[in-house]
DNA sequence: TGCTGGATTCACT
DNA sequence: GTGAATCCAGCAC
């Protein structure tokens, strides 16, 4: 069951980030379907969060974040890695959720091939850059509708209770000053598929 | 038109 | 623990 459009349109991006834990993300690249359970996310708020690319500026790259929720914002980082974001909230409000780690489910053999691995291990999808490689996500997915055919999210009715959710400061955003310490990073406790804690 | 540095990862010391 | 890889967005000129 794909996530309803309403899920993305709410105005509390932090709450959405929490609820995305346990949801499944799917991609279909050249007929190859791959999927995984989201185990780690980060929230970015365009209105009051300096760590967000769209904070205080609106450019061709960040334009998609101002669109209505339910689309993908793909960003190329360090010239090497693609990062997958879920755009949320209404039009003109640039909120997004970064998917940092997933637990592989379907199409694992395709993911192994894309990553150049022989056997499954915890590094396959532990990190926003490598999970995009595993799922075959590139900038061609920029702006894709998340209920579409090439990339989408599903609700597997998996319930994550508060006790199993860890909150912590976000990583890699030290330039954001005080906003860098906001506890907007969410992980599933004791899940080995999360990227390494810092 | 040119320069700077980043929502990262991996190999190596 | 440290540093290189590597490309383009954003901004200065």
pLDDT in tens, A134-188: 999 999 999 999 999 999 999 999 999 999 999 887 665 555 566 676 788 999 9
Give the residue with minimal CA–C1' separation from C5: A80
Distance CA A76, CA A31 (A): 24
Give start and end residues of each alpha helix (H) in chain A: 5-9, 13-20, 108-115, 128-135
Give the residue with minimal CA–C1' separation from B5: A78
The reply to whether A53 has its C-beta less than 7 Å from any atom of strand C is yes
Mean pLDDT along residues A15-41: 96
Q: Which nucleotides of C are covered by protein (CB under 7 A)?
A: 5-11
The reply to whether A50 has its C-beta less than 7 Å from any atom of strand B is no
CA–C1' span, A173 to B10, in Å? 20
pTM as predicted: 0.92
């Amino acid at each position: 069951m794909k996530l309803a459009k309403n899920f993305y349109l709410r105005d509390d991006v932090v709450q959405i980030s929490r609820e995305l834990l346990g949801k499944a993300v799917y991609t279909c690249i050249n007929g190859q379907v791959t999927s995984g359970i989201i185990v780690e996310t980060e929230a970015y708020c365009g209105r009051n969060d300096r760590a967000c690319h769209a904070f205080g500026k609106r450019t061709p790259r960040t334009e998609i974040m101002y669109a209505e929720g339910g689309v993908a914002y793909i960003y190329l980082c360090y010239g090497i890695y693609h990062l997958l974001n879920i755009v949320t909230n209404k039009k003109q409000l640039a909120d997004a959720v970064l998917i940092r780690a997933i637990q592989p489910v379907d199409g694992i053999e395709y993911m192994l091939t894309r990553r150049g691995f022989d056997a499954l291990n915890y590094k396959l999808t532990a990190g926003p850059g490598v999970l995009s490689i595993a799922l075959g996500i590139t900038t061609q997915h920029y702006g894709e509708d998340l209920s579409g055919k090439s990339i989408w999210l599903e609700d597997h009715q998996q319930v994550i209770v508060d006790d199993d959710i860890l909150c912590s400061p976000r990583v890699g955003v030290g330039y954001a000053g005080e906003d860098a310490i906001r506890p907007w990073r969410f992980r599933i406790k004791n899940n080995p598929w999360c990227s390494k804690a810092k």
